[in-house]
Structure 1
Amino acid sequence: MPNLEASFRALRVLHIARVLFNQYGFHKVGVDRIIAEAKVAKATFYNDFHSKERLIEMCLTFQKDALKDKVFSILYSYQELMVLDKLKQIYFLHTNLEGFYRLPFKAIFEIEKLYPAAYKVVIDYRNWFINEIYKLLLTLKATASMEDAHLFLFVIDGAMVQLVGQNQIDERDKLLDYFLLMISSV
């Protein structure tokens, strides 16, 4: 039973940290605030996570794994969907401000120098994602390139910048429409 309690406690800390990091950023949220909101002792926190970087890495790994599961589900579970529909679903999965991509997106701008191990989690996801999108684009267009896959990720990132900055949902849709038009033309 003590192991189960420790697991629930660690999950609670992870959940609270993810919410706080999403809301305030990685630099404005310290360990003291996390442990106060999670109602755990500082020694318990350091026993479970060892450092703030390790906690951030675990938060990002959780988000990355959830995103991968969702992307795999779209790519392989919905065989009847057309490629453009799959791209749309993947796009909207990543441009949801309440979704799993927001924290990794925020990490791109905030943690590279200070938390390199955690930053690597995000870079690994982005590389995996580009490769999966490239394979999907090849099923649509034999001349698709890795640059097209990179462009799709840049369109997602651009939409996220717009959503975080101004909350312009119409512009987000225009970015996607333009990309889909560009990629589906011969």
Structure 2
Amino acid sequence: MSNLKISPKALQAVYTSIQLFDTYGFHKAGIDFILQETKIAKMTFYNNFQSKERFIEICMTVQKERLKQEVRAIMYSCQHLTAADKLREIYLLHADLNSPYHLLFKAIFEIEQLYPHAYQVVLEYREWLVQEILELLSGMEIRLLKPDVDLFLFMIDGAMVQLLCGFGVPVLPLYCDSPSLFQRLNQ
């Protein structure tokens, strides 16, 4: 996002639109609705963003960078936490309808076919998160594979589905009977 150069008014439109997309979804928050809510002219919008896909791609990039900052804060600023504690904090950060991940999660289902470039931003974040978790856990004595971390990501996604269905925040299954990533972390 550091190479993204847009005016302050356009950036405000991005932040407002992120909230609109998060609340109404990508299909219901159309350009006219966004223009009405942000109070910018259509010409100004298209001069800054060229298309709705490019605009959504910028919104996804902003959310991705926000989320990466929060994950990095957990991983590198919380020195007193164990790797398992950090993993738990990362889980709780993502399994929250008010977190920046909610919009990225929503995008998985709503934009893949219509806005493939914007969807790619979501995939890049997910791959980045997997790599960060692998790095976090690389210093431990257990041998972890990418499928173990993919399972963690799927648990986050499952938690989001449960939240969207109104079931509340699921607790991490640290007590499972079968061997799992989390049991190995707590050993």
Q: Which runs of 4+ in 1 moved over 6 A?
A: none
- Whole-angstrom CA distance in 2 between matches of 1:176 and 1:58: 37
User: What's the C-alpha RMSD, in Å, of the aligned pairs?
Assistant: 1.8
Structure 2 counterpart of 1:17: 17
- Whole-angstrom CA distance in 1 between matches of 2:175 and 2:110: 29
What pairs with 1:1-186 in structure 2 (closer than 5 Å)?
7-169=7-169, 172-175=170-173, 178=176, 181-184=182-185
SS where residue 26 of structure 1 aligns?
helix
Q: Which moved more, 1:136-145 or 1:49-58?
A: 136-145
Return closer, same or farther for 1:48/1:167 CA change in 2, 3 Å cut-off.
farther
Q: Which moved more, 1:98-107 or 1:77-86?
A: 77-86
SS where residue 35 of structure 2 aligns?
helix
- Whole-angstrom CA distance in 2 between matches of 1:52 and 1:85: 40
Q: After superposition, what is the alpha-carbon deviation per residue over 1:68-125, rounded to whole angstroms, capped at 9, x for unaligned? A: 1111111112222111110111111111211110111101111111101100000011
Is 2:84–2:182's contact at 8 Å kept on the other side of the alignment?
Answer: no
Structure 1 residue 127, shift from structure 2 partner: 0.6
SS where residue 97 of structure 1 aligns?
coil
- Whole-angstrom CA distance in 2 between matches of 1:129 and 1:77: 17
Q: Which moved more, 1:141-150 or 1:34-43?
A: 141-150
**Matched residues, number:** 179
Is 1:17–1:59's contact at 8 Å kept on the other side of the alignment?
Answer: yes
* Larger relative contact order, structure 1 or 2 (CA cutoff 8 Å, min sep 6): 2
Percent of residue pairs identical: 49
Structure 1 residue 139, shift from structure 2 partner: 2.9
Structure 1 residue 7, shift from structure 2 partner: 2.2
Is 1:83–1:139's contact at 8 Å kept on the other side of the alignment?
Answer: no
Return closer, same or farther for 1:26/1:86 CA change in 2, 3 Å cut-off.
same
- Calculate the TM-score normalised by the size of structure 2: 0.88
Return closer, same or farther for 1:72/1:185 CA change in 2, 3 Å cut-off.
closer
Is 1:148–1:183's contact at 8 Å kept on the other side of the alignment?
Answer: no
- Calculate the TM-score normalised by the size of structure 1: 0.89
Structure 1 residue 155, shift from structure 2 partner: 0.6
Q: Which has the higher helix share?
A: 1
Q: Where does structure 2 lack aligned partners over 5 or more consecutive residues?
A: 1-5
- Whole-angstrom CA distance in 1 between matches of 2:18 and 2:70: 19
Is 1:88–1:176's contact at 8 Å kept on the other side of the alignment?
Answer: no
Q: After superposition, what is the alpha-carbon deviation per residue over 1:42-66, rounded to whole angstroms, capped at 9, x for unaligned? A: 1111111111111111111011111
